[in-house]
Amino acid sequence: MYPNGIAVIAITKRGVETAIKIKQVLAKVDLPCTAYAPNKYYHEELASIDKKLDVFIKEIYPKVDAIVSIMATGITIRAVAPLLESKLVDPAVIGVDVAGRFVISLLSGHYGGANLLTQIIAEGIGATAVITTASETLNRQSVDEIARLLHLTIVNPASLIAVNSAIVNEENVALVVVGGVNIPSKMVSTLEVKKAETVDQAAEIIDNYDAAALITKKSLKTARFSKPVTILKPKRIIMGVGTRKNVTEDQVLSAVNRALYKANLPIERLDGLATVDIKKETASLVSAAAKLRLNLSFLTTAELGALKHEDLSPDSQLVKKTIGVGGVCEQAAIIKAGKNPHLILKKQKLNGVTIAIAEGE
């Protein structure tokens, strides 16, 4: 979650105290965070803001997954308002009063994860979480929340108003899964999940509902449906794996499960594993992939070494000396994740196994 990090921003002395508490809370749940404050409130746990607040926020806005703003809500709104683009690309924005009494989800509550982060911070610092999205208030999942949980791309975001309105107003709304898309229905709590072999069959099902969300790998046009429909396309998700010598199958399986937990990713959404080709004879890795019923792809060191990507961690000199390339898991995951890939979990060292997860189109 939040692979590009969370920026916690304070501009007052009391706010700095709250920022440090929030940073410590996020560290406990392994969420990447950098806390900032003006130079005059320097603290060893914080980075400095050496420019005007609106300029600083403009610079970090496209670089992070979430901004936690510890200041008056009006200041936050004025700073981010000129930067707003879409709920699909805007970072989560959360407001916190300087005393840490209230944590308020302001922007990108569902798809950007502001509501979830609000709950995590509020619980951690003993504050009251303020979440005003109707679906959350009524304990009903919105389509964009489902898309975030299941790592789905919203193809036609303009449809969300009609479909989410139907959900909030307790109309009959279905989630229709087409073809061989593997979706854990247990993560969909308020929509009736239906399966269809073809899009035509899905259209017949949708005719019996007031609105629907449709999960499919195919490219579709909404004109073929008689009801409001949000089309969701599964992202391609690959786990890159590296192993030391003599790791066991249980160690690999344990590392996979821990990484999935850290990324808040259901195993049903994992499309495969990838590693370097010198691991073809690593029986524990091969058998673990078979037990998980996941395809295991192999890449050459030349393919891994040729990759240039902004998400990559610095090279490991030990790995480079051993196999000739500075990393395996992040490179393998990014290469096999398809178009426009990015890491959703950076390299994790887990008991002799290194793992990273990337998603793409």
Tens of pLDDT, residues 246-261? 899 999 999 999 999 9
Q: Is residue 27 part of a domain?
A: yes
Do 222 and 241 belong to one domain? no
pLDDT at 223: 63
pLDDT at 183: 85
Q: What pTM, to 2 d.p., does this model score?
A: 0.81
At 68-109, the pLDDT tens digits run 999 999 999 999 999 999 888 999 999 999 999 999 999 998
Q: Is residue 79 part of a domain?
A: yes
Q: What are the residues facing 357 on neighbouring strands?
A: 239, 345
The answer to whether the Cα torsion of 222, 224, 225, 226 is positive or negative is positive
Do 116 and 229 belong to one domain? no
Q: Is residue 137 part of a domain?
A: no
Say how many CA atoms lie within 13 Å of 254 toward its Cβ.
Answer: 11
Do 148 and 249 belong to one domain? no
Q: Is residue 93 part of a domain?
A: yes
Do 221 and 251 belong to one domain? no
Do 122 and 27 belong to one domain? yes
Q: Is residue 45 part of a domain?
A: yes
Do 305 and 326 belong to one domain? yes
Domain span holding position 114: 6-132
* Strands, E assignment, the chain: 6-10, 33-38, 47-49, 66-70, 92-96, 102-107, 128-130, 152-154, 173-178, 192-196, 211-215, 229-234, 236-243, 272-276, 296-299, 342-350, 353-360
Q: Is residue 1 part of a domain?
A: no
CATH number at residue 108: 3.40.50.11220
What is the average pLDDT value for the chain, to the nearest integer? 92
Q: Is residue 221 part of a domain?
A: yes
Do 59 and 88 belong to one domain? yes
Q: Phi first, then psi: what are they for 35, rounded to 5°?
A: -105, 140
At 168-209, the pLDDT tens digits run 999 999 999 998 888 888 888 889 999 999 999 999 999 999
Percent of the chain with pLDDT over 90: 75
Q: What are the residues facing 298 on neighbouring strands?
A: 275
Do 230 and 240 belong to one domain? no
Q: Which residue among 234, 262, 288 closes a domain? A: 234
At 199-254, the pLDDT tens digits run 999 999 999 999 999 999 988 766 678 899 999 999 999 999 999 888 999 999 99
Q: What's the structural domain count of the chain?
A: 3
Do 278 and 310 belong to one domain? yes
Do 149 and 205 belong to one domain? yes
252 C-beta neighbours (distance < 10 Å), count: 27
Query: Rounded mean pLDDT of 145-161?
Result: 92
CATH number at residue 338: 3.30.420.180
Query: Rounded mean pLDDT of 318-341?
Result: 92
Do 241 and 220 belong to one domain? no
Q: Is 199 exposed, middle or buried (0-12, 13-18, 19+ CB in 10 A)?
A: middle
pLDDT at 345: 94
Q: Is residue 138 part of a domain?
A: no
Interacting residues of 150 by C-beta distance below 8 A, sequence separation 6+: 183, 184, 187, 215, 232, 234, 266, 269
Q: Packing angle between helix 283-292 and helix 249-263, nearest 10 degrees? A: 50
86 C-beta neighbours (distance < 10 Å), count: 10
Amino acid at 3: P
Q: Packing angle between helix 114-125 and helix 13-28, nearest 10 degrees? A: 100
Q: Which residue among 172, 200, 234 closes a domain? A: 234
Q: Which residue among 194, 217, 234 closes a domain? A: 234
Q: Say whether 98 sits in a helix, a strand or coil.
A: coil
233 C-beta neighbours (distance < 10 Å), count: 19
Do 290 and 329 belong to one domain? yes
Query: Rounded mean pLDDT of 19-47?
Result: 92
